[in-house]
Amino acid sequence: MSDAVFAAPSEHSSQVRYDNYGSKVASADRDQLLALCDELNVRFLRLVFIDINGMPKNIELPTSKFGDAFDGKIMFDGSSIAGYVRIEESDMLLSPDLDTFRVFPWGNPEARVAQVYCEVRRPYNKPFGGCPRAALKRVVARAESMGFKMYAGVEAEFFLFNKNEDGSCNMVTHDTGGYFDLTPSDLAERARREMVTAMEAMGIDIEAAHHEVAEGQHEIDYKYGEALRTADDLITFKFIVRNVALAHGLHATFMPKPIFGANGSGMHTHQSLFTDGKNIFHDADADYELSDVMLHYIGGLKKHARAIAAVSNPIVNSYKRLVPGYEAPISIAWSQRNRSPMIRIPDQRGMGTRAEFRMPDPACNGYLALAVQLAAGLDGIENKIDPGPPLDTNVWRLSDEERERIGLEVLPANLGEAVAELEANEVMKDALGDHIFEQFVSRKKAEWSEYVAQVSEWEIDQYIDY
């Protein structure tokens, strides 16, 4: 790729446009957006929506159809989208959230491309139970009816691999760097910087970027926000990571455990609840300065953790990460500072008081993962679920006998176990809604059945001489 494609924007580029128009876009109506598109030379508009697996889909429209798009008049065939509808009821409607309008910072400045996130609805603007974004909005609305607003931040780690001549991933890591390494060990500094530049131009507030523990593994952290905004930004984040990597001749993957014997990629999710602009997880007079609301929220996360796992760790490979020895949690416990349990409470207090849920991985559907975590926490608050005392022991070093003695429950060992827990959990079913719940469980059962029927290279190596 040329240096100009992802270079830092000049004073005449879209970065200044975002600086000038960002606050206006957040409350813009369709006529203001049409005028903005004309001013910024936007030639194409992507209407982005999400399937049940968390994969972004889009319909791209020319300038002549922007008005119809902003009015929510664009329809599409939903029968080919994972988790949507049958062929005989395939017509679906895209309802745009105008607050999410953003212009891509690359490409021809005379023919820019913009995007807007959409909810999927049925004809005549009727609700559709299979839309993941709408599912999160439902749980967020429930929290707001209880007086709470969820703020969340996610840390989606990823790997960069080299490619074969045919463009396929060759599973050779791009570098041999380790945690916080610099060039020459870390060969991805330039690519990460271009990712950060593009993310900032898309309105994502970046806090830090660095090499992670495993060879070829990286992390870029962006600022927390309201739950729906965080989930939207995660989709944009992944899109930019993959596209900048592609421009550098690399393959970016959010697969949780692509390399045997190395740390996997997690998506630690920081979360807190606010009321009237105040972080109600903090109580200066309480033990550990953690409020009863926060403790009950943690109790809900613990109670439902084994069912949450099916959504936050949704693929067979997810459970190759959740094993002892690689810094991923396996124990359903909470702790001060200690990174070995499932939930950690970072040291910061006041407005920064939060729970870090360390189980999720970046293969998940961010909308559904946040929905089930919030629903679990709200259940903990409603039912005053006691999380028990914090566990400040390094649980990775505990023997099976010690775990049993203190009653330490563990996360599911595989996708099959997790889906069985999800299927039996009414709180999770209510959070997802009947349509998504039934589709998700059915698809994951099929995925697990297909996997367990496979014969792996490991089995051949171990048993061919039997």
Catalytic member of 119, 233, 356, 421: 356
Q: Which residues contact 166 (CB under 8 A, 6 or more apart)?
A: none
Catalytic member of 157, 181, 283, 421: 157
Distance from chain centroid for Cα 326? 21
How far is 381 from 299, CA to CA, in rounded Å?
8
69-79 as b/e: b if 16+ CB within 10 A: bbebebebebe
Catalytic member of 102, 121, 133, 155: 155
- Half-sphere exposure of residue 167: CA atoms within 13 angstroms, side-chain side: 2
How far is 99 from 418, CA to CA, in rounded Å?
36
The three-state secondary structure class of 214 is coil
Catalytic member of 219, 221, 232, 283: 219
| Residue 133 annotated as catalytic | no
Q: Which residues contact 338 (CB under 8 A, 6 or more apart)?
A: 344, 390, 391, 392, 393, 394, 395
| Residue 327 annotated as catalytic | no
Nearest alpha-carbon partner for 121 in 87, 82, 89, 80 = 89
Catalytic member of 174, 218, 268, 270: 268
| Residue 157 annotated as catalytic | yes
Catalytic member of 189, 194, 212, 423: 212
Nearest alpha-carbon partner for 341 in 406, 427, 429, 424 = 406
Catalytic member of 77, 207, 382, 402: 77
The angle formed by the CA atoms of residues 5, 8 and 12, to the nearest 5 degrees, is: 90
Catalytic member of 144, 339, 404, 434: 339
* Tokens read off for 129: 């139970």
The angle formed by the CA atoms of residues 13, 19 and 21, to the nearest 5 degrees, is: 100
Helix axes 189-201, 14-25, angle to 10 degrees: 40
Q: Quick one: residue 125, left, alpha or beta (phi over 0 = left, psi -120 to 50 = alpha)?
A: left
The answer to whether the CB of 209 falls within 8 A of the CB of 220 is yes
| Residue 409 annotated as catalytic | no
The answer to whether the CB of 437 falls within 8 A of the CB of 420 is no
Catalytic member of 17, 221, 358, 361: 358
The answer to whether the CB of 378 falls within 8 A of the CB of 146 is yes
| Residue 356 annotated as catalytic | yes
DSSP 352-373: G--EEE----TTS-HHHHHHHH
Among all residues, which ones are annotated catalytic? 77, 155, 157, 212, 219, 268, 339, 356, 358
